[in-house]
Amino acid sequence: MNSTIAYLTTQLEAALVAAFGPDLAGTDPVLVPTTNPKFGDYQANVALSLAKRLQDKPRAIAEALVAKLEVSDCCEPPAIAGPGFINLKLRTDYLQDQLRQMHQSDRLGVAPTSAPQRVIVDFSSPNIAKEMHVGHLRTTIIGDSLARLLEFRGHDVLRLNHVGDWGTQFGMLITHLRDVCPEAITDASTVDIGDLVAFYRQAKQRFDAEDDFKERSRQAVVELQAGDESARKAWQVLCDQSRREFQQLYDRMDIRITERGESFYNPLLADVVADLKASGLLVEDQGAQCVFLEGFTNKEGNPLPLIIQKSDGAYNYATTDLAAIRYRTQQDRAERVIYVVDAGQANHFTQVFQVARRAGWVPEGVELIHVPFGVVKGDDGKKFKTRSGDTVRLKDLLDEAVRRAQSDVENRLQQEERQESPEFIRHAAETIGMAAVKYADLSQNRTSDYIFNYDRMLALQGNTAPYMLYAYVRVQGISRKGDIDWSQLQQTVPVDLDDETEFALARHLLQLDEVILAVEADLLPNRLCQYLFELSQKFNQFYDRCPILQADEPKRTSRLVLADLTARTIQLGLSLLGISVLERM
């Protein structure tokens, strides 16, 4: 199965050359889906955009183009509308053929990419010894979803957790550990040091209050950097404890990620600085090693420096990211590096990307992309906080979503007078809770801030996970009632598209590949959510209007095929968002 939009684009490009000569090779035909089905399925706007260049009326250009356009295999004869839009309407037999191919395909007709890339997705990346909190929710969910979609398209994806596991804060943590839990450092077995957040807070308090503690903390940083065994062991204990806690959350959210924290790049930092020096980019400014940035100025209008090494010899966050870029492009041979990090770090990434390019570490054609997202806010429009004003722990947030999902399920079962096992309820609640949290985040355009609201994300109506899961469950209900084995469903005659709702559903189903390709390019998962939402709506309209099990053959089979395609599309689409379906709910 070929992407219809790709095929039509190719044909339009050929017609442009045939009509106006080789100069027009590679001209974008500006092909878009129509907003109103009355005008067909697609609309090409190229005649308008070429008017100036060809010094002719758009309508005349459109006519000349249509005369050379070969699309009769999939479209009705093209129509020219208004000042020169070319409207294309797909033929019914073409749609039927596409549906047949989609139904037979494991991938629902979405071909693997013909140009697989080595892609790195840098996401989640919490800081050691601090809790994962609501701030890590978006990067974790969005990053995982992008990785899933790129993997599905056949790219070679390396998911990297750039955890903050290095830096001066370890001085106070190590010192506090030595004081309160010395056995953690000498004992070979793992020691549980309890609540890491409380531990961090205590260490910080002592650091601010006790001079002796502060001095020993400074010393501990020096020891850690020099590779002192006791300091290393303490650092390891702290990292291990964090790691175990992070892993529990990843497991629960079904997220795979490989840890390659900041400490990994430590041995490479001196080399990075030397490399920058050799390429003449490094400038000493008040004892610090800097690169002066192009296009960045301070208040006085002077070029702004990116500090690479402070006057005391210490490296920083930017140095580590430069080392990471160099490693990812040279050792990992990444062709596309995607950083899913909050919008607040946009400047940081623009700066390090610029320095890396000027240093010559980024080969032609290699993309470094910051995928920014807005902050999570509460209903009051302020940063999402607990009642007492603390940052919300990710674990508590997930627990609360599941707790609320469970009470929804229990209420519904009571209303429907259904008896289900505790295991059924627990599983449904966990699946719905997790789905709701993920979907609510992914369905927003990530660049805007996001208002977190449990009630809205768990609602059975609207653009929510429960609505989508319910549409899927509905189809499974049909198969239970009619004793249908989907894997045995044989399409004997073309899918019937007589009813308007059948036609609309079929048209929408066939846009799956276009949507996936769009998300692959612009990295906006909300487009896939919108597609799935509209699919569920179109399915529900079809379901309300067209009897399925009661219909006579061959309509019955035809409608079962549409239902099956809908369920499989929802299942696939949700899986790319990191969400699993339920057979019953």
Q: Which of these segments, 120-128, 420-428, 429-437, 561-569, binds ligand ARG (CB under 6 A)?
A: 120-128
Task: Tell me how far apart the alpha carbons of residues 359 and 325 are, in angstroms, rounded to a whole number.
Answer: 11
Q: Which residues of 432-470 are buried (b: 16+ CB within 10 A; e: fewer)?
A: bbbbbbbbbbbbbebeeebebebeebbbeeebbbbbbbb
Distances (CA, A) of 504 to 500, 532, 536, 543: 6, 14, 12, 12
Toward ligand ARG, which CB reaches closer, 121 or 561?
121
Task: Tell me how far apart the alpha carbons of residues 412 and 420 are, in angstroms, rounded to a whole number.
Answer: 11
Quick check: 140 binds ligand ARG (CB under 6 A)?
A: no
Q: How far is the CB of 262 from ligand ARG (least distance, A)?
A: 8
Q: How far is the CB of 351 from ligand ARG (least distance, A)?
A: 12
* The only residue of 4, 20, 109, 122 in contact with ligand ARG, by rule CB under 6 A: 122
Please measure the distance between the N-terminal and C-terminal CA atoms of the chain and give it in whole angstroms.
34
Toward ligand ARG, which CB reaches closer, 185 or 253?
253
DSSP letters, 173-225, are HHHHHHHH-THHHH-SS------HHHHHHHHHHHHHH-HHHHHHHHHHHHHHH
Task: Tell me how far apart the alpha carbons of residues 137 and 129 are, in angstroms, rounded to a whole number.
Answer: 17
Task: Tell me how far apart the alpha carbons of residues 486 and 567 are, in angstroms, rounded to a whole number.
Answer: 10
35-74 footprint of ligand ARG as x/- string (CB under 6 A): ----------------------------------------
Q: How far is the CB of 362 from ligand ARG (least distance, A)?
A: 15
* Phi, psi angles (nearest 5°) of residue 182: -60, -30
Q: Which residues of 363-402 are buried (b: 16+ CB within 10 A; e: fewer)?
A: eeebebebbbbbbbbeeeeeebeeeeeeebbbeebbeebb
Long-range contacts of 222-226 (CB under 8 A, 24+ apart): 224/170, 224/171, 224/174
The first and second tokens of residue 558, run together, are: 């035809």
Quick check: 213 binds ligand ARG (CB under 6 A)?
A: no
Long-range contacts of 181-185 (CB under 8 A, 24+ apart): 184/234, 184/237, 185/230, 185/233, 185/234, 185/237
Beta-bridge partner residues of 79: 87
Task: Tell me how far apart the alpha carbons of residues 426 and 402 are, in angstroms, rounded to a whole number.
Answer: 9
Q: How far is the CB of 467 from ligand ARG (least distance, A)?
A: 33
* Stretch 545-574 residues interacting with ligand ARG (CB under 6 A): none
Quick check: 441 binds ligand ARG (CB under 6 A)?
A: no
Quick check: 339 binds ligand ARG (CB under 6 A)?
A: yes
* Stretch 152-211 residues interacting with ligand ARG (CB under 6 A): 162, 164
Helix (H, G, I), strand (E, B) or coil at 153: coil
Toward ligand ARG, which CB reaches closer, 202 or 316?
316
Quick check: 131 binds ligand ARG (CB under 6 A)?
A: no
Q: How far is the CB of 261 from ligand ARG (least distance, A)?
A: 9
Quick check: 321 binds ligand ARG (CB under 6 A)?
A: yes
Toward ligand ARG, which CB reaches closer, 324 or 442?
324
Toward ligand ARG, which CB reaches closer, 42 or 339?
339
Q: How far is the CB of 347 from ligand ARG (least distance, A)?
A: 12
Quick check: 125 binds ligand ARG (CB under 6 A)?
A: yes
Toward ligand ARG, which CB reaches closer, 338 or 505?
338
Q: How far is the CB of 523 from ligand ARG (least distance, A)?
A: 16
Toward ligand ARG, which CB reaches closer, 250 or 424?
250
Q: Which of these segments, 119-127, 148-156, 287-295, 302-310, binds ligand ARG (CB under 6 A)?
A: 119-127
Q: How far is the CB of 349 from ligand ARG (least distance, A)?
A: 8
Residue whose beta carbon is closest to ligand ARG: 125
Quick check: 260 binds ligand ARG (CB under 6 A)?
A: no
- Please tell me the count of residues contacting ligand ARG according to CB under 6 A: 10
DSSP letters, 474-523, are HHHHHHHHHT--GGG----SPPP--SHHHHHHHHHHTTHHHHHHHHHHH-
Quick check: 147 binds ligand ARG (CB under 6 A)?
A: no
Q: Which of these segments, 19-27, 44-52, 121-129, 470-478, binds ligand ARG (CB under 6 A)?
A: 121-129
Task: Tell me how far apart the alpha carbons of residues 460 and 480 are, in angstroms, rounded to a whole number.
Answer: 22
Quick check: 341 binds ligand ARG (CB under 6 A)?
A: yes
* Stretch 462-501 residues interacting with ligand ARG (CB under 6 A): none
Residue numbers of the site for ligand ARG (CB under 6 A)?
Answer: 122, 125-127, 162, 164, 321, 324, 339, 341
